Amino acid sequence: MLLRPRQKLFVERSLAALSTRGNTLGVAPTGAGKTIMLSAVTGNMTGDGARACVLAHRDELTSQNRAKFARVNPGTDTSVVDATTKSWEGQVTFAMAPTLARAANLAAMPKLDLLVIDEAHHAVAESYRRIIDRVRDANPEARIFGVTATPNRGDKKGLREVFDNVADQVRLGELIASGHLVPPRTFVIDVGVQDELRSVRKTMSDYDMTEVAEIMDRAPVTDEVIRHWQEKAGDRQTVVFCSTVAHAEHVTDAFREASVPAALITGTLEAGARKGILDAYAAGRLRVIVNVAVLTEGWDHPPTSCVVLLRPSSYKSTMIQMVGRGLRTVDPAEHPGIVKTDCIVLDFGTSSLTHGTLEQDVDLDGHTPSGEAPTKTCPACAADIPLGSRECPLCGELLVEPEDEAHSQEAGTGSLSGFVMSEIDLLKRSSFAWEDLFGDDAALMASGFNAWGGVFFLEGRWHAVGGAKGQATCLLGVGDRTVCLARADDWLNAHESDESAFKSKRWLTQPPTEKQLQYLSPEQQQDYGLTRYRASALITFQFNRRDIRRLVMSAAPERRAA
Q: pLDDT tens, 109-142?
A: 999 999 999 989 999 999 999 999 999 999 999 9
Q: By the 8 A CB rule, do 38 and 118 touch? A: yes
Q: By the 8 A CB rule, do 81 and 94 touch? A: yes
Tell me the pLDDT tens digit for each residue of 261-307: 999 999 899 989 999 999 999 999 999 999 998 888 778 899 999 99
pLDDT attached to residue 100: 96
CA distance 200 to 209: 9
CA distance 200 to 373: 18
Tell me the pLDDT tens digit for each residue of 347-402: 998 888 777 777 777 878 876 554 444 556 666 655 556 555 555 655 556 665 44
Which pLDDT band holds residue 416 (cuts at 50, 70, 90)? very low
pLDDT attached to residue 417: 32
CA distance 31 to 29: 6
Q: 414 pLDDT exceeds 60?
A: no
Mean pLDDT (the chain) is 85
Which pLDDT band holds residue 168 (cuts at 50, 70, 90)? very high
CB atoms within 10 A of CB 39: 27
pLDDT attached to residue 400: 53
Candidates 308, 300, 307; CA nearest to 334 is: 300
pLDDT attached to residue 522: 87
pTM for this one? 0.78
Pick 250 or 509 by higher pLDDT: 250
Of the candidate ranges 22-31, 236-245, 254-263, 551-560, the one whose mean pLDDT is the lowest? 551-560
The amino acid that residue 84 corresponds to is: T
Q: 424 pLDDT exceeds 70?
A: no
Q: By the 8 A CB rule, do 47 and 72 touch? A: no
Pick 559 or 237 by higher pLDDT: 237
Q: 509 pLDDT exceeds 60?
A: yes
pLDDT attached to residue 59: 76
pLDDT attached to residue 392: 60
- Enumerate long-range contacts of 526-533, CB under 8 Å, 24 or more apart: 531/507, 532/507, 532/508, 533/433, 533/435, 533/447, 533/504, 533/505, 533/507, 533/508
Q: By the 8 A CB rule, do 359 and 172 touch? A: yes
pLDDT attached to residue 395: 56
Please provide the DSSP assignment of 105-121 as one string: HHHTPPP-SEEEEESGG
Among 285-289, 320-324, 383-387, 509-513, top mean pLDDT goes to 285-289
Which pLDDT band holds residue 419 (cuts at 50, 70, 90)? very low
Which pLDDT band holds residue 80 (cuts at 50, 70, 90)? very high
Of the candidate ranges 391-400, 473-482, 498-507, the one whose mean pLDDT is the lowest? 391-400
pLDDT attached to residue 230: 96
Q: By the 8 A CB rule, do 128 and 97 touch? A: yes
Distance linking the first and last C-alpha atoms of the chain:
41
Q: By the 8 A CB rule, do 464 and 455 touch? A: yes
